[in-house]
Amino acid sequence: GESVGLHLPTLSVQEGDNSIINCAYSNSASDYFIWYKQESGKGPQFIIDIRSNMDKRQGQRVTVLLNKTVKHLSLQIAATQPGDSAVYFCAENIHDYKLSFGAGTTVTVRA
Amino acid sequence: ETGVTQSPTHLIKTRGQQVTLRCSSQSGHNTVSWYQQALGQGPQFIFQYYREEENGRGNFPPRFSGLQFPNYSSELNVNALELDDSALYLCASGVGETQYFGPGTRLLVL
């Protein structure tokens, strides 16, 4: 079946370093992707999105890269801070804004 | 904050009971979707409502049903609760593709 998945379930990063979280998707027809951050006990928080006609988009301290050739998506966080510790999900718009999520990557920031 | 609220925050039910979860969206958000998130998993799409009509459904049985109201609130109803229904239930609303999530309702079925 078609799905969105993340390469690694956990990522440990030193405070101040850059983080890279990866995601692979299998639906080549997907045209919209979103990264969400979910802290313990909270709902997913929108971070950044990208459409399939783009290969890069930047936000505040975050950059999303899209490689449609290999169906790969990544989220880069610059100068990772303790507040960045959370579970990160990539999501794919499968049809009419219905989202398909991967299992998530847990990011832990070491002081 | 997303402007999306959910109630209650936590709920305990027993197997076979029925439950109603509520969501209040921002004014103007004409789409609301419900997701189920089991522990350690990503959210799974249950269904979506657009202008008070169901607009797509995921792989969930008919005992999961919903309503959307003109005042941008919505409900998720689950009948004949099963143990595996224990999860965090999230609603998401928006205009267009960007969906904003509420904090969720944690349901425990005993």
DSSP A44-103: -EEEEEEETT-SEEE-SSEEEEEETTTTEEEEEESS--GGG-EEEEEEEEEETTEEEE--
**pLDDT tens per residue across span A29-38:** 888 999 999 9
Residue A44 pLDDT greater than 90, yes or no: yes
**pLDDT tens per residue across span B24-73:** 998 888 889 999 999 999 999 999 998 899 989 999 999 999 999 988 89
% of residues, chain A, pLDDT over 70: 94
Distance from CA of B80 to the nearest CA of A (A): 26
pLDDT-based confidence at residue A58 (cuts at 50, 70, 90): very high
CB contact under 8 Å between B43 and A44, yes or no, is yes
Size of interface A-B (CB pairs under 8 A): 68
- When computed from its CA atoms, the radius of gyration of chain B, rounded to whole angstroms, is 13
